[in-house]
Amino acid sequence: MSKPTVLVTRKWPSEVEEELKAKYDVTLNEKDVPMSIPELQAAFQNYDCVCPTVTDPINAEVLSVENKKAKIIASFGVGFNHIDLDAAKKENLVVTNTPEVLTDCTADIAMTLLLSAARRTSEGERELRAGKWAGWRPTHLRGTQVTGKTLGCIGFGRIAQATADRAHFGFGMKIIFSDPYMPSDEVINKYNATPCSSVEEVLEKADFVSIHCPGGESTYHLMNKERIGMMKKGAYLINSARGDVIDNDALIEALKNKTIAGAGLDVFEGEPELNPGFLDCENAVLLPHLGSASTETRIAMGMRVLENMEAYYSDKEPGDRVA
């Protein structure tokens, strides 16, 4: 019996690629160049399984191509708003993702952004590397103390809870949150967390607002000009979740006008294209989507893809099926 044919749209960790080679008839993207829409369409016509990443636009145009061979989309990444799930269901395609394995790594980045924004470390490094440091002085690059402040989480799922764990037990931060799905009393009590009745209540009370909700239509530009305006003047906005949750223009305006103190951002709407206005905001810490970028986590994500594929090709329900 021949092995299923598999296309991987980007370069993956070598440990995972070796596993794919051993188990499947796999075509790898050795040059690690993003695939075009016609190339993605051809992939669905010529392979049994397509393995995209969170930056590949698996939209209706791609999925509705004629003479499809593919039956499963085994995506590398926890997010799946890059995939048109309605179109996938219409075309009878199984869709899987890779949750859980990147929780701690992404929470680490959320705290990195929070600390860096509060303590102005990016500004300090830029000054030092540019040869502009004039020496220690009492008023130089004064930031904001983190210990004891209030962290407000928009969404309180796995990654938010892992961030709260670091913030509460590591820095004595008070935790408040808003989530349409209330966590258990055990979780709330663990962090001595306070549920808020709305996103707006979180914004009004938090010193640091950390985004942990999914992207997509329901949360598109959730943080618009009006809501950003509800934040404290000395507050910081942290986003390690999805770029389209924030209205870039509204945030840039708030940063330039010092309506809020700063921001720490790992994700951006339209990435990898960056709104150039961010480059003029000294009070913004900007990272190139590093949330899951540890060696251990990226390997674990790839192995999770393999687990989902193995289940599917063993006529079992994949554990991480989202469509």
- pLDDT mean across residues, the chain: 97
Average pLDDT over residues 59-76: 98
Q: For the chain, percent helix, then strand, then coil, each to nearest 5?
A: 40, 15, 45
Residue 215: per-residue pLDDT: 85
pLDDT at 200 over 80: yes
Average pLDDT over residues 199-213: 98
Average pLDDT over residues 67-93: 96
**CB of 305 within 8 A of CB of 76?**
yes
The one-character DSSP state at 280 is G
From the candidate CATH numbers 3.30.2010.10, 2.60.40.1190, 3.40.50.2020, 3.40.50.720, the one assigned to the domain spanning 5-101+295-313: 3.40.50.720
Active-site residue flag, 212: no
Residue of 201, 289, 307, 321 marked catalytic: 289
323 vs 94: CA distance, rounded Å: 6
Strand order in the sheet with 94-96: 25-27, 5-8, 49-51, 72-74, 94-96
Q: What's the distance, Cα to Cα, between the start and end of the chain in Å?
A: 28
Enumerate the CATH 3.40.50.720 domain ranges in the chain, comma separated.
5-101+295-313, 103-286
pLDDT at 1 over 80: no
Residue of 10, 120, 227, 242 marked catalytic: 242
Question: 3-state DSSP call for residue 238?
Answer: strand
Residue 132: per-residue pLDDT: 98
Active-site residue flag, 289: yes
Active-site residue flag, 271: yes
Residue of 221, 271, 307, 321 marked catalytic: 271
This prediction has a pTM of 0.95
Average pLDDT over residues 223-239: 98
What six digits make up the tokens of 73? 């989309």
Name the fold adopted by 103-286. Answer: Rossmann fold (3.40.50)
